[in-house]
C-alpha cells in the first residue's frame, strides 16, 4: 500500500520501519496521518516476516503535535461523538509486537504522547520534548498527563504540563523517559535498528509475552502483576520456542526459533 503521510520499509531482517513523513507540517499528527499509521502498524503486526517495529520521524521533527489547524474549529459535540483521538490508542491496545520510537527534533504535545506510547523510547540528546497544550488553552489528550507522570513523577510532570516548558532529550534520558540517548541522528537510527534487530532475533512469542507483561505493570498493582506474569510465564511452556531455546542452551548451540 502506498501512503501519503508516512513511509514504510523493512530495513533489517524482521524489522518493520514506519517513518512519519509530513515534512511541511513537522509531522503534525492529523487524523489522516494517524489512520495511515494505524494501517501500517496493523500490517506489520500481522506480517509473518516482522517481529519488531521502529517508529521514527525526521531529524528535525518526530512530530510537532496533533494537527492544530484540524482541531481549532472542532466543537465539543464533534469531539465527543466522534471519539476524537481515541483511534490513537490502537498502538497501545491492539499492537502486540514491540514498537521502538526513535525521536529526534520536536516531540511536542501529541508527538510527545505518541513517543510515550511506544515500548522503548530512544532519542537524540538535543531532542525537544514537551506538552505545550496549556499555551493553546487545552491539556494533553493522548495520555500525556498519565504516561508522563508515571515516567517522571508528579512533581516534574505537573510543572511541565502547567507551564508548557519543554525538556531536552538529555533530560528525557536522565529522567527515565528514554531508555537511551544518542549524540546524533545517525547514531540514533543505527542504535534503534540494532535494538530492533536484536529483539527480532528472539522467539517472537516470548518477545510478545515480554511486552505484554511489562505493559501490564503500568495498570496493575505489584501483587496482581506478579500473578499475571506467572500465568503468562507458565503459558510459554506451551510454546515450541521455549523447548528449542532451553535445549539449545544445554547443547551449547544457537537456538533456531520456529516462532510457535
Ligand atoms: C499543525 C503545525 C504544527 C501542529 C507545526 N506546524 N506544528 N501545523 N499542527 N502541531 C506547521 C506550522 O504551522 C508551519 O506551517 C510548519 O509546520 C512549520 O512550522 P514553524 O512553526 O514555521 O517551524 P519552526 O519555526 O521551526 O517552529 C517549530 C515548532 C512550532 C516550535 C515545533 O511549529 C510549534 O510550536 N508548533 C506547535 C507545537 C505544539 O503546540 N504542539 C502541540 C499541539 S496540541 P506553515 O503552513 O505556516 O508553513 C496537541 C494536543 C494533543 O498536540 C492532544 C491530543 C493528541
Give me the chain's average pLDDT, please.
97
Closest CA to 104 of 204, 19, 24: 19
Among all chains, which residue has been given the C-alpha cell 511541565?
160
Q: Ligand 1 center to residue 24 CA distance, Å?
A: 10
Give pLDDT, residue 259. Answer: 80
| 19-49 per-position pLDDT tens digit | 999 999 999 999 999 999 999 999 999 999 9
> Any catalytic annotation for residue 110?
yes
The string of pLDDT tens digits covering residues 186-228 is 999 999 999 999 999 999 999 999 999 999 999 999 999 999 9
Model confidence at 116: pLDDT above 80: yes
* The pLDDT of residue 101: 98
From 133, 142, 144, 210, active-site residue: 133
First and final CA of the chain: distance in angstroms? 28
- Whether residue 65 has its Cβ less than 6 Å from ligand 1: yes
The DSSP secondary-structure symbol of 202 reads: S
The pLDDT of residue 1 is 80
The atom number, within ligand 1, closest to the CA of 113 reads 55
Q: 25 C-alpha vs ligand 1 centroid, how far in Å? A: 7
Name the β-bridge partners of 225: none
Please check whether residue 139 is in contact with residue 157, taking contact to mean a CB–CB distance below 8 angstroms: no
Confidence (pLDDT) at 248? 97
Q: What are phi and psi of 106, to 5 degrees?
A: -75, 130
The reply to whether ligand 1 has any atom less than 6 angstroms from the CB of 67 is yes
Q: Say how many Å lie between the CA of residue 67 and the centre of ligand 1.
A: 8
**113 classed as catalytic:** yes
Strand ranges for 13-150 from DSSP E: 15-20, 52-56, 61-63, 99-103, 106-108, 120-124, 128-130
Is ipTM beyond 0.90?
yes
Over the Cα atoms of the chain, what is R_g? 19
Ligand 1 centroid vs 133 CA: distance in angstroms?
11
In this predicted structure, the answer to whether residue 260 has a pLDDT above a threshold of 70 is: no
- Annotation says 190 is catalytic: no
Amino acid at each position: 500500500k502506498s501512503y501519503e503521510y508516512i513511509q514504510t520499509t523493512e530495513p533489517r531482517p524482521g524489522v518493520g520501519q514506519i517513518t512519519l513523513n509530513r515534512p511541511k507540517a513537522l509531522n503534525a499528527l492529523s487524523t489522516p496521518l494517524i489512520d495511515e499509521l494505524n494501517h501500517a502498524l496493523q500490517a506489520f503486526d500481522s506480517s509473518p516476516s516482522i517481529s519488531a517495529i521502529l517508529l521514527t520521524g525526521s531529524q528535525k521533527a518526530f512530530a510537532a503535535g496533533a494537527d492544530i489547524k484540524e482541531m481549532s474549529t472542532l466543537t465539543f459535540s464533534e469531539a465527543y461523538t466522534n471519539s476524537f483521538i481515541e483511534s490513537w490508542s490502537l498502538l497501545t491496545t491492539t499492537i502486540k509486537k514491540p514498537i521502538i520510537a526513535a525521536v529526534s527534533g520536536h516531540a511536542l504535545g501529541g508527538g510527545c504522547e505518541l513517543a510515550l506510547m511506544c515500548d522503548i523510547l530512544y532519542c537524540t540528546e538535543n531532542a525537544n520534548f514537551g506538552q505545550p497544550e496549556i499555551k493553546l488553552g487545552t491539556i494533553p489528550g493522548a495520555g500525556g498527563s498519565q504516561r508522563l507522570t508515571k515516567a517522571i513523577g508528579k512533581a516534574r510532570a505537573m510543572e511541565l504540563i502547567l507551564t508548557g516548558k519543554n525538556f531536552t532529550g538529555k533530560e528525557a534520558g536522565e529522567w527515565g523517559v528514554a531508555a537511551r540517548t544518542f549524540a546524533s541522528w545517525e547514531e540514533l537510527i543505527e542504535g534503534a535498528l540494532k535494538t530492533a534487530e536484536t529483539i527480532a532475533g528472539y522467539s517472537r512469542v516470548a518477545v510478545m509475552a515480554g511486552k505484554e507483561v511489562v505493559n501490564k505493570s503500568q495498570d496493575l498493582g505489584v501483587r496482581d502483576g506478579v500473578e499475571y506474569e506467572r500465568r503468562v510465564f507458565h503459558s510459554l511452556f506451551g510454546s515450541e520456542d521455549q523447548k528449542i531455546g532451553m535445549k539449545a542452551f544445554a547443547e551449547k548451540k544457537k537456538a533456531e526459533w520456529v516462532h510457535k
